[in-house]
Amino acid sequence: MTRRKPIATGSDWNFDILESYEQELARLADEYRLDTYPNQIEIITTEQMMDAYASVGMPVGYHHWSFGKQFLAVEQAYRRGQMGLAYELVINSDPCIAYLMEENTLMMQVLVMAHACYGHNSFFKGNYLFRTWTDASSIVDYLVFARKYVAECEERHGVTAVEQLLDACHALQNYGVDRYKRPSPISAEEEVRRQAEREEYLQAQVNTLWRTIPGPRSSDALLGSLDSEEDPLGLHEGGRYPPEPQENLLYFIEKNAPLLAPWQREIVRIVRKLAQYFYPQRQTQVMNEGWASFWHYTLMNRLYDEGLVDEGLMLEFLQSHTAVVSQPGFDSPFYSGINPYALGFAMFSDIKRMCESPTDEDREWFPDTAGGDWLEVVQFAMRNFKDESFIQQFLSPKVMRDLKLFSIVDDDQEEMLEVAAIHDERGYRRIREALAAQYALSLREPNIQVYEADIRGNRSLTLHHVQDRRRPLGRSVYPVIRHLHQLWGFPVRLESIAQDGSVTRRYQWPLPDEEVKE
């Protein structure tokens, strides 16, 4: 390979230099068949970066105090030097928006371009979750619509009313996503057009649901019926509503809460839509960061091999890269959980290693992968997995040994913690399973669903919390069901159900002394 002259040396940069590097990166990325959205690279100042951070990665957002809190926290941490700002900030949109901070050195700018504009960008475009759940092309339009709509509501109904509604929605936003079925994609322009229509229509729907005239009596009534003596007309027959438990609490609220005004339903919908947009990101942290780190590492090395960057820049890069993908041990003062960059990078690098120089162990564990075309395999992995399944599928004994993973069982019925598995022959599979479970969103968050809305009785709402291995809900449960009560407008109950189906704990809001039923 002929070594060319470095495009630039030193740490200063200008737009011409960035563009040259960007072109080189694009050329190399193309060689590796990285399929990306067009890039929109924005150069911003520190303050702007803090703004961007505070709006949780949305380029435009509606106003809410919690973003102000976020901003103050970021600012404070940055001023104190606790946090290096902005390794990268990239937005899943088409074109893909990435931010470069003006204070960064040339090395950082090139690194961030490789990491965000080719790593994350291709992940956004390729991964099945993002392909299924997000509309990269319309998200910015939708955000603009949301911001305008919320601002209009604030003018019409007052800032406080909107703020309280948003507080309540934010408390439930993790439960505002469809996990299994894909909502029909609606473009943002249509969104605005349909909004007014929806407003009227929705309200009519809700009214129909809550109408007091009994419907035709169904012959095979399910549950919840009273004795025929007490209910001779059979008004309480006709089964539970909803007939199936609903996992999407905000969706259920939007469509069924009896008292919400149309604009309130629309805001619930906005929060729900945004939660859905961020849902894939929450499920692919390790993969996303690992993929991006793997590519910045590969691309930077290629730039160096071709002589386009000099040794100084490369050393600076290696130092930065090493810091990012380091994994302190559990007993280190710097330990704060497993570093997704470290785990993801180690796994993707290991896939490449297995393909290029497989060992006997690899052939035994990954007969399909070992010795294959590494580019094919990593692309396949990127496209078709989320954290949980990716770990399940690709975490190799070598990575477990390198990270010295071990698993501990913490059982409140036992006096001591027990080391369940370590990185040895007997432990590999168990560790892999436990680690995958650790990234399963369904296990990370309590499983809570709408069980019943008593539409024929006192309109109370009952939720079921299905306990996972006897784990109870945290103390935040009361404030959250208070918020839920604000949205629903009638008493809200929450029951924790153990594995055997028995109710272990009941929560309700308003607190029992005000509300007497049963």
The residues in 38-77 that bind another protein, with binding defined as CB under 8 A, are 38-45, 47-48, 50-52, 54-55, 63-73, 75-76
* Cβ neighbours around 82 below 10 Å, total: 8
Determine if 354 is a binding residue for another protein (CB under 8 A). Answer: no
Is the CB of 148 or the CB of 193 nearer to another protein? Answer: 148
For residue 94, the minimal CB distance to another protein (Å) is 11
Query: 289 to each of 292, 293, 463, 494, how far by Cα in Å?
Result: 5, 6, 35, 37
What angle is formed at CA 251 by the lines to CA 170 and CA 500, rounded to 5 degrees? 90
Shortest Å distance, C-beta 420 to another protein: 6
Q: At closest approach, how far in Å is the CB of 396 from another protein?
A: 15
Q: Which is nearer to another protein, 53 or 358 (CB)?
A: 53
Token readout for 383 is 């496209």
32 near 307, Cβ under 8 Å? Answer: no
Contacts of 364 (CB under 8 A, 6+ apart): none
Span of 12-20, 238-246, 262-270, 278-286 interacting with another protein by CB under 8 A: 12-20
Pairing mode of beta strands 96-101, 39-44:
parallel
Give Cα separations from 189 to 58, 91, 487 (angstroms). Answer: 19, 20, 28
* Window of 84-92, 194-202, 432-440, 449-457 that interacts with another protein by CB under 8 A: 432-440
Looking at the Cβ atoms of 64 and 269, the one nearer to another protein is 64
Q: Which residue lies nearer to another protein by CB, 38 or 215?
A: 38
First to last CA, the chain: 81
Is 449 one of the binding residues for another protein (CB under 8 A)? no
**Minimal distance in Å, beta carbon 340 to another protein?**
11
User: Binding to another protein (CB under 8 A): which residues in 112-171?
Assistant: 117, 159, 163, 167, 170-171
Contact by Cβ (8 Å): 37, 134: no
Query: From CA 440, how far away is CA 385, in angstroms rounded?
Result: 12
**Residue placing its CB nearer to another protein in the complex, 17 or 202:** 17
Minimal distance, residue 426 CB to another protein, in Å: 7
Give the residue from 148, 100, 115, 154 showing the smallest Cα distance to 36. 115
Instruction: Return the number of the residue (261 or 443) whose C-beta is nearest another protein.
Output: 443
Least Å distance, CB 105 to another protein, is: 17
DSSP summary character for residue 174: G
Are 290 and 343 within 8 A, CB to CB? Answer: yes
Residue 18 or 370: which CB sits closer to another protein? 18
Asked whether position 427 contacts another protein by CB under 8 A, the answer is: yes
Footprint of another protein on 72-101 (CB under 8 A): 72-73, 75-76, 79, 95
State which of positions 313-352 bind another protein (CB under 8 A).
327-332, 335-338
CA angle 247, 248, 253 (to 5 degrees): 125
In the complex with another protein, which residue's Cβ is closer, 65 or 201? 65
Report the distance separating Cα 449 and Cα 157, nearest Å. Answer: 31
In the list 124, 133, 175, 428, the residue contacting another protein (rule: CB under 8 A) is: 175
d(Cα 518, Cα 478) in Å, to the nearest integer? 21
For another protein (CB under 8 A), the number of binding residues is 102
Q: Is the peptide bond before 510 cis (omega within 30 degrees of 0)?
A: yes
> Which C-beta is closer to another protein: that of 44 or that of 202?
44
CB of residue 418 to another protein, shortest distance in Å: 5
510 binds another protein (CB under 8 A): no
Nearer to another protein, 67 or 210 (CB): 67
Select from 290-298, 303-311, 451-459, 474-482 the region that touches another protein (CB under 8 A).
474-482
Residue by residue, DSSP assigns 352-369 as: HHHHHS--HHHHHH-TTT
CA distance 358 to 24: 31
Residue 357 corresponds to which amino acid? S
CA 302 to the chain's CA centroid: 32
Among 474, 501, 502, 518, binds another protein (CB under 8 A): 474
**From the list 107, 143, 206, 431, which residue makes contact with another protein (rule: CB under 8 A)?**
431
Task: Kindly identify the residues of this chain, within the stretch 233-292, that bind another protein according to CB under 8 A.
Answer: none
Decide if residue 467 touches another protein (CB under 8 A). yes
CA separation for the pair 227, 233 (Å, rounded): 11
Query: Of 312 and 328, which CB lies nearer to another protein in the complex structure?
Result: 328
Query: What residues from 478 to 497 belong to the interface with another protein (CB under 8 A)?
Result: 479-480, 483
**Closest by Cα among 226, 223, 227, 228 to 238:** 223
Closest approach of another protein to the CB of residue 74, in Å: 9
407 binds another protein (CB under 8 A): yes
Pick from 161, 408, 166, 158: nearest CA to 267:
166
Nearer to another protein, 173 or 396 (CB): 173
Asked if 66 and 126 count as a contact pair (C-beta separation under 8 A), the reply is no
Nearest approach in angstroms of CB 475 to another protein is 7
Report, in Å, the least distance between residue 32 CB and another protein: 17
Q: Give CA torsion, residues 234, 235, 236, 240, to 10 deg.
A: 110
CB of 1 to another protein, least distance (A): 25
Torsion of CA 219, 225, 231, 234, to 10 degrees: -20
